[in-house]
Amino acid sequence: MNIEYIKEKRKGEIADIISRYPADRKKSALLPLLHIAQEENGWLPVDAMDEVADILDIKPIEVYEVASFYTMFHLKPIGKYVLEVCRTGPCCNVGAEELIHYLEDKLGVAVGETTADGLFTIKPVECLAACGTGPVLQIGPEYHYHENLTREKLDQLIDELRRAN
Amino acid sequence: MGKKILLEHINVPGINTLEVYRKMGGYESVRKAVNEMTPDAIVEEVKKSGLRGRGGAGFPTGMKWSFLDKSTDKPRYLVCNADESEPGTFKDRYLMQRIPHALIEGMITSSYALGARTSYIYVRGEMMPVIRILEKAIKEAYAAGLLGKNILGSSYSLDLYVQPGGGAYICGEETALLESLEGKRGNPRNKPPFPAVWGLYGCPTVVNNVETIADIPWIVNHGGDAYAAIGVGKSTGTKLISACGNINKPGVYEIELGITVEDFIYSDEYCGGIANGRELKAVVAGGSSVPILPKNLILTTANNEKRLMTYESLSDGGFATGTMLGSGGFIVFDEQQCIVRNLWNFSRFYHHESCGQCSPCREGTGWMEKVLHRIEYGHGKMEDIDLLVSIAKNIEGKTICPLGEAAAWPVASAIRHFRAEFEAHVQNPDSCCKKHLHRELVHSH
Ligand SMILES: Cc1cc2nc3c(=O)[nH]c(=O)nc-3n(C[C@H](O)[C@H](O)[C@H](O)COP(=O)(O)O)c2cc1C
Ligand code: FES
């Protein structure tokens, strides 16, 4: 392991998380630690997962099989801002589909792809428990909810994110 | 205005803080429980209340609590299911976001009743903002002596933690949730043994929904009989309904169980009627997993009685003409909505979310999605409609967990009540969804 992702950098937090479970059940800290690793690096390279395995005294495969099961973890490099837009029924009934197409046209990439400048990836996700205020998207690592989305709101959001870079 | 148990103070400024929450009477149930009541006395009150699990299955909470195995020396756990991922359902997120202490108070009082010394709230990972709110509120509760060692000077101690998920609908299923909390893939376990005997870390465990747990303080404060006096028959108390779709006022409403469906859809107190002056076409009353009903059957039962918002009335007529109260995710479709397209979207969802352990679900959900896709996109055949019915039937009852049923029921019910619409898609593909035919919602897994 060459680079350190979280071991030293987030030491106190990691110790605090591990203390929440019985001493012989450290593995319970796996999902929280994967979130921290992704927060630090934007996505989860094998090295980062190996480091998590090392911290929790489990085999690397136990980390890989979990990371690949859950949709929030990115196992490949991905845009700096991952626009996670809900594509489930109730949101589509209030315009989510049209909005996803608008986003594709605006950014010049299809769903699942990343813009050439590496800033944005459009990632469709399933119901975010915001169906009454759809269409909705969120952006990690804060995962703030952007609700009642319109084209204007999207334009504004993308502008703001571009300006911040 | 109906009785409010959970949302009475929702609009009080600062209700998300401990100070204001306590000013409004919050945490009284913790004081009463640890000072004046035995754990068993609380379980008795919950039994008397008739409270049924608000996560979807409607299992009597008091009975579930009384199954908790107390014959071992193993620790006992209470785990709150805050995975809320059933399409159409957004009540738990609303409650936790607005009144986090309502859940925390419920967790403390319930943990005391169950003899748990460590409890977890499992929140879906996408709800990071809610996790931050809960963690802040928990910190406040520790500082006030409501959590930690010797709660309010009593001999009872409790630690409470929030656990994030990683994005997986299946982790709402209680045994998948426990697997996930143990740091594993969310594969549901075979039952029995039930969590009451073999739950978290192989210890006796109760898993309850956010709303169920948030109802407990009121029951402890006012007594089970007072709770049972609200509602109709075996549908006691209030229920949070998250209403969405083509209505004038989408949102989360607390209803007294027993109001009519018609009142819920059309009155200004709730949904405020169908948006844009259109007509009601269909309703999915309890989250995407329950059977869809057309207008006539959601408003009245097959016996021509007004349909009520209760467990019994909504399921009146069985699956032939009824549905379920489920999670309270109330999705309304107006006359312009295409049932085939909506069904295809739901099937895509279930296929995406199947954990893959059981072949009928893993293969069947994908097959249904494929067939619905070709009907929706103009390549369907008449036989496809019965094929869908047969696939749905072959998933039902043949899987470890009910995700299989959740995927099968919507398809079976949509064809039962809207067969003509499926036929029309096959016969004349351009008649309905033409605007979608040239561009489809891209899939990615
Ligand atoms: C596929 C699937 C998803 C579920 N999702 C949830 C959920 O998000 N929240 C929830 O409380 N219950 C969910 N349930 C129900 C739980 O398994 C369990 O019945 C519930 O948490 C028990 O709590 P209650 O008795 O308080 O309702 C789900 C069940 C299945 C089969
Ligand atoms: S369907 Fe998009 S948040 Fe529920």
Count of domains forming chain A: 2
- A144 part of a folded domain: yes
- The torsion angles phi and psi of A122, rounded to 5 degrees, stand at -95, 120
Instruction: Tell me, yes or no, whether A112 and A65 share the same domain.
Output: no
Q: Is the per-residue pLDDT at B159 higher than 50? A: yes
- A74 part of a folded domain: no
The last residue of one of the domains, among A46, A69, A92, is A69
Tokens of B115: 């003899």
> What confidence tens digit (pLDDT) does each residue in B102-134 have?
999 999 999 999 999 999 999 999 999 999 999
Q: Is the per-residue pLDDT at B444 higher than 50? A: no
Which segment of A93-107, B28-42, B126-140, B430-444 scores lowest on mean pLDDT? B430-444
Predicted local distance difference test score (pLDDT) of residue B445: 39
- The predicted model gives B148-167 an average pLDDT of 98
DSSP structure class, residue B235: E
Residues of B in contact with A110 (CB under 8 A): 442
Tokens of B380: 């369907």
Instruction: Tell me, yes or no, whether A10 and A42 share the same domain.
Output: yes
DSSP structure class, residue B187: P
Atom number of ligand 2 nearest to Cα A90:
1
Instruction: Tell me, yes or no, whether A62 and A100 share the same domain.
Output: no
> What confidence tens digit (pLDDT) does each residue in A24-65 have?
999 999 999 999 999 999 999 999 999 999 999 999 999 999
CATH number of the domain that A128 lies in? 3.40.30.10
Q: Rounded to 5 degrees, what angle do the CA atoms B80, A67, B287 make?
A: 45
Q: In whole angstroms, give the CA distance from residue B236 to residue B50.
A: 6
Predicted local distance difference test score (pLDDT) of residue B428: 87
- A47 part of a folded domain: yes
Instruction: Tell me, yes or no, whether A59 and A91 share the same domain.
Output: no
Domain range for residue A45? 3-69
Predicted local distance difference test score (pLDDT) of residue B69: 87
Binned at pLDDT 50, 70 and 90, residue B328 comes out as very high
- A75 part of a folded domain: no
> What confidence tens digit (pLDDT) does each residue in B349-389 have?
999 999 999 999 999 999 999 999 999 988 999 999 999 99
Provide the residue type at B398 as one letter: K
Instruction: Tell me, yes or no, whether A50 and A97 share the same domain.
Output: no
Q: How far is CA B11 from the centre of its chain?
A: 23
Q: Where are the alpha helices (DSSP H) in A19-80?
A: 30-41, 46-56, 60-67
User: Which residue of chain B has the CA closest to A95?
Assistant: B245
- The predicted model gives B20-46 an average pLDDT of 98
Instruction: Tell me, yes or no, whether A58 and A102 share the same domain.
Output: no
Strand ranges (DSSP E) for B235-309?
235-236, 238-245, 251-256, 280-284, 292-294
Cβ neighbours of residue A45 closer than 8 Å, sequence gap 6 or more: none
* Ligand 1, atom 1: closest residue by C-alpha: B403
Instruction: Show the ligand 1 pocket: residues with CB < 6 angstroms.
Output: B 53-57, 59, 81, 83-86, 170, 172-174, 207-209, 212, 401-403, 406
Instruction: Tell me, yes or no, whether A62 and A102 share the same domain.
Output: no
Q: Is the per-residue pLDDT at A1 higher than 80? A: no
- A39 part of a folded domain: yes
Q: Do B250 and B141 touch, CB atoms closer than 8 A?
A: no
- A146 part of a folded domain: yes
Tokens of A109: 């990439």
The last residue of one of the domains, among A16, A34, A69, is A69
Q: Residue A99: in which H helix or E strand, if any?
A: helix A96-107
To test the contact with chain B by mutation, choose from A14, A28, A137 the residue with the greatest count of B C-beta atoms within 10 A, namely A28
B242 touches chain A (CB under 8 A): yes
Instruction: Tell me, yes or no, whether A113 and A63 share the same domain.
Output: no
The last residue of one of the domains, among A42, A69, A96, is A69
Q: Is the per-residue pLDDT at B12 higher than 80? A: yes
| Percentage of residues in chain B having pLDDT higher than 90 | 94
Residues of B in contact with A90 (CB under 8 A): 87-88, 244-245, 331
Cβ neighbours of residue B370 closer than 8 Å, sequence gap 6 or more: none
Q: Do A63 and A45 touch, CB atoms closer than 8 A?
A: no
Q: In whole angstroms, give the CA distance from residue B358 to residue B297.
A: 34
Q: Is the per-residue pLDDT at B276 higher than 50? A: yes
Q: How far is CA B442 from CA B17, B62, B159, in A?
A: 43, 45, 44
Instruction: Show the ligand 2 pocket: residues with CB < 6 angstroms.
Output: A 86, 88, 90-91, 127-131, 134, 136; B 87
Instruction: Tell me, yes or no, whether A39 and A93 share the same domain.
Output: no
Q: Residue B372: in which H helix or E strand, if any?
A: helix B359-376
Q: Which residues of B398-421 are buried (b: 16+ CB within 10 A; e: fewer)?
A: ebbbbbbbbbbbbbbbbbbbbeeb
What integer best gives the mean pLDDT of chain B?
Answer: 95
Atom number of ligand 2 nearest to Cα A96:
2
Q: How far is CA B59 from the centre of its chain?
A: 12
Tokens of B197: 């005997």
What integer best gives the mean pLDDT of chain A?
Answer: 96
* Ligand 1, atom 17: closest residue by C-alpha: B173
Cβ neighbours of residue B351 closer than 8 Å, sequence gap 6 or more: B365, B366, B368, B369, B407
Instruction: Tell me, yes or no, whether A95 and A150 share the same domain.
Output: yes
Binned at pLDDT 50, 70 and 90, residue B33 comes out as very high
Q: In whole angstroms, give the CA distance from residue A15 to residue A55.
A: 10
Predicted local distance difference test score (pLDDT) of residue B439: 61
- A76 part of a folded domain: no
Predicted local distance difference test score (pLDDT) of residue B352: 96
B126 touches chain A (CB under 8 A): yes
Instruction: Tell me, yes or no, whether A85 and A65 share the same domain.
Output: no
| Percentage of residues in chain B having pLDDT higher than 70 | 97
Binned at pLDDT 50, 70 and 90, residue B437 comes out as very low
To test the contact with chain B by mutation, choose from A56, A84, A127, A146 the residue with the greatest count of B C-beta atoms within 10 A, namely A127
**ipTM of this complex prediction, to 2 decimal places:** 0.97
Predicted local distance difference test score (pLDDT) of residue A2: 64
Predicted local distance difference test score (pLDDT) of residue B436: 54
Going from the Cα of A72 to the center of ligand 1, the distance in angstroms, rounded, reads 21
CATH number of the domain that A56 lies in? 1.10.10.1590
Classify B262 as helix, strand or coil. helix
Task: From B335, B330, B373, B322, select the one nearest B351 (Cα to Cα).
Answer: B373
Instruction: Tell me, yes or no, whether A23 and A86 share the same domain.
Output: no
Residues of B in contact with A127 (CB under 8 A): 85-89, 169, 288, 349
- The predicted model gives B32-52 an average pLDDT of 98
Atom number of ligand 2 nearest to Cα A89:
1
Atom number of ligand 1 nearest to Cα B58:
27
> What confidence tens digit (pLDDT) does each residue in B199-225 have?
999 999 999 999 999 999 999 999 999
- A60 part of a folded domain: yes
> What confidence tens digit (pLDDT) does each residue in B250-264 have?
999 999 999 999 999
Classify B52 as helix, strand or coil. strand
